[in-house]
Amino acid sequence: MRKILCIILIATFAFIIDAQAQSNTDTTKQVVAKKNWYESVSIRGYSQIRYNRLMETNSLLGCESCDRSWGDGGGVFIRRMRIIFFGKLNDHVSFYVQPDLASNAGTGNLHFAQLRDAYFDVSVDKKGEFRFRIGQSKVPYGFMNLQSSQNRLPLDRDDALNSAVSNERDLGLFFYWAPQKTRKLFSSLVADGLKGSGDYGVFGFGAYNGQTANKADGNKDLHYVTSITYPFQIGNQIIEPGVQAYTGRYVVTKDQQSAGVKTTWNANYDDQRIAAHLVLYPKPFGITAEYTVGKGPEFNTVSDSIETQDLQGGYIMLSYLQKFGKHVLIPFSRIQYYDGGKKHERDARSYKVNEIESGFEWQFTPNFELVATYVVSSRRYEDFAKQTNHQKGRLLRLQAQVNF
């Protein structure tokens, strides 16, 4: 009898072990089962609605490359309506596509759809420490240029750094390297609400067309850019220094020229800059500073011509992050200066900007935030049609943003 019971127990135990092993094998098969590509796609986005006419003292004051709803003709304005499609197809390939459904063509008609980003990241290793970015993406020049408009404190980027790359993007091939630990830090600086710029590597290098996003190359000369940035932690504080530089030949195309303006024989101009930034992330007090020097095309009112001229400018911004329950309040103040041309505008318009703005960002929930800033601005911007144009003024700007 005991022998029979022992045989039954042994047989039962063997059956259980075999069943468990089979279950583990089936589970493993489910875990390692290959996903279809569409199961790796995620969607997110945001929308910004602005009004810039409160307490306005000069309706002629504007900023074409900042916000076209400044001044005359401005009203309630959808600044951005972005939907982002992104995903990781496997250990080596990911993609990112971002159209804007509220682009302004500058014709008085609003809300045109236009492509902002469309690129693939191809990683040499599974950790993604060495990767190539192919397509239309941000050019790694400047801290605030790389910072998403969804996360940025001021409503517009500064004139000096942003005059390098309108819309911050171009078609090209870029290489980025950063160790996995630093990549996680780059990601956390955005995810934790510290206003990081995103992951563009500790070291970056690339070649791109040079005429900016959604525009054909104007010549056979590519632009080349390189960047080095390294965030590090000291106690509770995180500090990030960085330098960037680029060189190329920019073409002032026919549609950018006024009738009668003089150019070089082929309208090609040297376009070279170097910049540096230093960021103390707001924990709770923050400082962001950038400065750039270089040369590029700029309109000369004396000769009625577009010439290669020196440029310089930058900004410093102070901020303070406070949390009240689920609410986040970040007051900030920025002072900026720029003296140089804006190659993307009519006749490579000549600028001299002195501006200070103070305001706050109030995050009611992760899905909704309100920004209010008071701007005191002095802007001289001149081209062939407006050769004496110095505007000064003050205004209160409001923006509501929804994140989804």
Residue 4 CA from chain centroid, whole number: 76
Mean pLDDT of 222-250: 97
- Give dist(CA 388, CA 228) in Å, integer: 40
CB 313 within 8 A of CB 291: yes
pLDDT of residue 29: 44
Residue 275 CA to residue 255 CA, distance in Å, equals 29
Amino acid found at 335 = I
The residues, ordered by sequence, that sit 6+ positions from 384 with a Cβ below 8 Å of its Cβ are 258, 260, 261, 299, 304, 346, 347
**Res 404 pLDDT > 50:** yes
What is the per-residue pLDDT across 364-384, written as a single tens digit (0 to 9) for each? 999 999 999 999 999 999 999
Of 46, 69, 45, 65, nearest in space to 56 by CA: 69
Lowest average pLDDT, out of 37-41, 181-185, 289-293, goes to 37-41
pLDDT digits (tens, 9 = 90+) for 391-402: 999 999 999 999
Which among 393, 285, 365, 292 has a CA at the least distance from the CA of 333? 285
Report which DSSP code applies to 156.
Answer: S
- Beta carbons within 10 angstroms of residue 209's beta carbon: 19
Residue among 404, 401, 393, 400 nearest 70 (CA): 393
Ranges 14-18, 50-54, 171-175: which has the least confidence: 14-18
pTM of structure: 0.89
**E-strand stretches of 10-146:** 41-54, 77-88, 93-103, 112-123, 130-138
Closest-CA residue to 318 (of 353, 356, 371, 370): 356
Residue pLDDT, tens place only, 283-333: 999 999 999 999 999 999 999 999 999 999 999 999 999 999 889 999 999
CA 151 vs CA 189, 197, 214, 228: distances in Å:
11, 8, 24, 22
Tokens of 272: 């070279």
**What local confidence, expressed as pLDDT, does residue 10 receive?**
40
Tell me the three-class secondary structure of 158-178, residue by residue: CHHHHCCCHHHEEEEEEEEEC
Report the C-alpha gap between 306 and 326 in whole angstroms: 52
The answer to whether the beta carbons of residues 384 and 299 sit under 8 Å apart is yes
CA distances from 205 to 55, 170, 227 (A): 45, 14, 7
Dihedrals phi, psi of 340, to nearest 5 degrees: 170, -170
Task: Give which of 106, 111, 107 is closest to 48, Cα–Cα.
Answer: 111
**Is the confidence at residue 23, as pLDDT, over 70?**
no
In the chain, pLDDT over 90 holds for what percent of residues?
Answer: 83
Helix (H) or strand (E) run with residue 355 in it: strand 350-365
Q: What are phi and psi of 251, to 5 degrees?
A: -105, 120
Task: Quote the tokens at residue 97.
Answer: 């596509």
Q: To the nearest whole number, what is the mean pLDDT of the chain? A: 91
Rounded CA separation 134/120 (Å): 5
Please state the length of the chain.
Answer: 404
In this structure, CATH architecture of domain 38-403: Beta Barrel (2.40)
* pLDDT over 90 at 25, yes or no: no
Facing residues of 399 across strands?
50, 371
Residue 88 has pLDDT above 50, yes or no: yes
CB 160 within 8 A of CB 133: no
pLDDT at 32 over 80: no
